[in-house]
Amino acid sequence: VMEDQYNPRLIKDLLRDLSSTLCILIRGVGKSVLVGNINIWICRLETVLLWQQQLQNLQMNKQVNNGLTLSDLPLHMLNNILHRFSDGWDIITLGQVSPTLYMLSEDRQLWKKLCQYHFPEKQFCRHLISSEKGHIDWKLMYFALEKYYPIKEQYGDTLHFCRHCSILFWKDTGHPCTASDPNTCLTPVSPQHFIDLFKF
């Protein structure tokens, strides 16, 4: 981060979380499981605090203009990019980049398609929200529906469990199953289900 200045805010957040967790663990010695010598943990905390100080003093270099930016793309391409997002917060965040992207991110059709993608018609018919002009406010409706109903989860690759071989594997890479019909043995594993496997 100090050299390439890539994602300093994210690293600051991670270091803040790490230092607060270390402080809690060090203060609660005897109450919590802290493996190792307390003095080593204090040294680790001091190292994290030093890193935080270095990040605090980091001076960001001004970027050199080296060509086109996202905002230089034609409107139809920017619109196409926005229509490929499946998360409302991603659309709002991209809309904060420039006035043009903001205008495109406020498009009623974009939010309508997002609502139709995530929620069945019967769900959004129950929660119709109209704007002052009498039109359906699809953006507001998306966030209202998001509070009541789960949105579709979309992943590039998913974990699967083969009941025949008792193997967990990525769907795209597969595994050499010995079952006569391997597809009948597969069970998709959601990220939440995968995390639940490690809960005691």
Length of the chain: 200
Kindly report each contact of residues 129-137 with a partner whose C-beta sits within 8 Å and lies 24 or more positions away, as own/partner: 135/108, 136/108, 136/112
The neighbouring-strand residues paired with 104 are none
Return the amino acid letter for 59.
Answer: Q
Residues of the chain with pLDDT under 70: 1-7, 30, 32-34, 60-66, 127, 130-131, 200
Claim: this prediction has a pTM higher than 0.75? no
Rounded Cα–Cα distance for residues 100 and 140 (Å)? 21
* Residues 84-132: tens digit of each pLDDT: 898 899 999 999 988 999 999 999 999 999 999 888 888 777 767 766 7
For domain 71-147, give the fold. Answer: Monooxygenase (1.20.1280)
Give the model's pLDDT for residue 196.
83
